[in-house]
Structure 1
Amino acid sequence: MRRQHLTETWLVLGVSLGASAVWSLLRIVDRLTRAEALGSQTTAMNSSVTPDRPWLDLAYQLTGIVLALVPVLLALHLLRRDDPDEPHTMGFDLRRPWQDLARGALLAAAIGIPGLALYAAAKALDLNTTVAAANLAETWWTVPVLILAAAQNAVLEEVVMVGYLFRRWGQVGWGTWQVIVTSAVIRGAYHLYQGFGGFVGNLVMGLVFGWLYTRTRRVMPLVVAHTVLDVVAFVGYALLREQVGWL
């Protein structure tokens, strides 16, 4: 059973965030081997596919969001074979909404403010690209789609990287900090496409989130915090990029 669980985790990662980490490693090699300095390069996120046809672009965006959540359903399905009470066991539910919202908001502030300083420092040292966090065409659905994309990122990363992996790796006998550090390193790795600031920032975020989860056994505050961070990054960039030069 130990070997089966371990194989299962690598397969789940292989069709989700583990694959993203591999592509991200290739991306940073590509960036580092260009003539242009890393700090002079731009990473575009949340980009339009067919900006000249907004209705089709909306279909593309929504389809991408929905399909990105399939690994979450897979992870929950696999866990439910052992524990019918999932996703409640990992705390991915609405049983404590106000407590989860309060904890998530505080956690977002604690991570987001130092994270912004780290991003600015990494850019100044040519260790990170300029992250263009929102590049959708300006339509009536731009902000709602960015919010949905933020929520999708949060659910995918926190349910898979924390709720699912912490359970499975604990079952195969890994120690608490072995689980926390491994998960955090993978989290940092799939953000390497942004540069080394993105790697370090998300590594630290993974360590903090992982430690908190071992204390509370509730993934929902992490989902709330991650959603808030991404909403601020995505929507804030979309609204302020013309007014704030350093974005």
Structure 2
Amino acid sequence: MDPDELAQRSAEIAQSAADAAWLAAYAALATAVLSLGLLVGAVLAWRVAKATLDQSKAAHRQMEKDSIEQTRPYVYAHLVPGLAGESTWDLLITNTGKSTARELLIDCDTWPKIEDELTGPLRKMFSTPQSLPPGVSLRTMWKLGLGENERWVDGTTDPAGIASGATLRLNYTSDDASKPSYRDVYRVDDSVIGLTPVPSTGPDAKSGLTAAEKDLHNVLRAATLHLGELRR
């Protein structure tokens, strides 16, 4: 082989080596691009999976919250005309929720300076933990007023109990394992309720009735009055 042929052969070999090197480089580049694509795909898939998981957890927490809200106790307080008759008001505390209210305590922001026959039992009731099942109410006398031209034995005419409005704070929990704390605040004031109807006791006894007939008449009047009070 003469020198020219040898040089040409060497050049061809060098070119082939260079082409092979370029092919290897392209292959490596393609592999790197493919690997990067797989990595990006994996990252995107991880983000989608994480977002789905986060949404699932949020939905689960919301379902738990909704379940608790739907099954928790709801205790509220309001004033109703008293069963004792005119000029009296009762405090009615009712659980309208789906579960029992536990450890119910009540704070009142207004107390008279001098304790009377109503405020003493009220304080004891408010400071004693109570359990209130669903649909059950606690009813207690709140205010006891006097009729026209009536006085107490000490000569005073002020109503017994809570004479003015008051703010009540109801604190309680439930049977839920997390022992949640609930606090509801209500303003009760009989002076802003308006005019309340009073049931009729019926006509007065006519003259000429015997003593037994008058007693029966009074019993029927009292029964009529109490039935009317229960309907208010």
The alignment's TM-score, normalised by the length of structure 2, stands at 0.22
- Normalised to the residue count of structure 1, the TM-score between the two structures is 0.21
By percentage of residues, which structure has more helix? 1
Greater Rg by CA: 2
| Higher strand residue share | 2
